């Protein structure tokens, strides 16, 4: 097993949200899709990009925070190396944990987790700790 750690900033430039409604018209749903650059931790160099989609759901029983269920793929080395990230998060500003459930290229068979910290400008800081079989 090989351990990896990636620390990147997703700089939000292309988010597109689509509104919709739940079956009872009182529980709005929204889909957010994007393709954004990933920068190194100093924000001095682009190290990849990501493409993702989140479904934003109402709070349980319409009480408490909204949730977003997200599926994101991070691409590195011109797209040859990929990480698949899944998770449900809230819009709170504290760090949250999402799962790494696979990958391709140098990251084939990846598993682990990322700490996900959103910022008010929609940028996201990821610290990903994961393992690959080779």
CA distance 29 to 34: 17
| Other CB atoms within 10 Å distance of the CB of residue 130 | 22
CA distance 41 to 76: 15
| pLDDT value for 24 | 42
d(CA 71, CA 113): 13
- Which residues make beta-bridge pairs with 124? 10, 118
Rounded-to-integer distance, Cα 5 and Cα 43, Å: 17
| Residue-by-residue pLDDT tens, the chain, 134 positions | 999 999 999 998 887 777 654 444 444 678 889 999 999 999 999 999 999 999 988 777 777 778 889 999 999 999 999 999 999 998 888 899 999 999 999 999 999 999 999 888 888 999 999 999 97
What pLDDT shows up at residue 108? 98
Burial letters for 38-56: b for 16+ Cβ neighbours within 10 Å, e otherwise? bbeeeeeeebbbbebebeb
Domains of the chain with CATH codes: 2-21+28-132 (2.40.480.10)
Q: What element of type H or E holds 51? A: strand 46-57
Measure the CA–CA gap between 51 and 14, rounded to whole angstroms: 10
- For residues 99 and 28, give the distance between their C-alpha atoms in angstroms, rounded to a whole number: 26
Which residue from 88, 114, 80, 79 is spatially nearest to 100, judged by alpha carbons? 114
């Amino acid at each position: 097993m090989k351990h990896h750690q990636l620390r990147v900033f997703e700089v939000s430039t292309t988010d597109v949200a689509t509104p919709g409604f739940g079956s009872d018209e009182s529980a709005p749903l929204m889909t957010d899709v994007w393709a954004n650059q990933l920068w190194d931790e100093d924000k001095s160099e682009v190290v990849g990009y990501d493409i993702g989609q989140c479904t934003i759901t109402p709070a349980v029983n319409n009480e408490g925070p909204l949730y977003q269920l997200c599926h994101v793929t991070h691409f590195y080395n011109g797209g040859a190396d990929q990480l698949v990230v899944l998770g449900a998060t809230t819009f709170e500003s504290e760090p949250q944990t999402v799962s790494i459930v696979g990958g391709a290229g140098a990251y084939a068979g990846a598993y682990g987790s990322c700490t996900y910290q959103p910022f008010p400008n929609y940028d996201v800081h990821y610290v990903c700790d994961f393992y690959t079989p080779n």
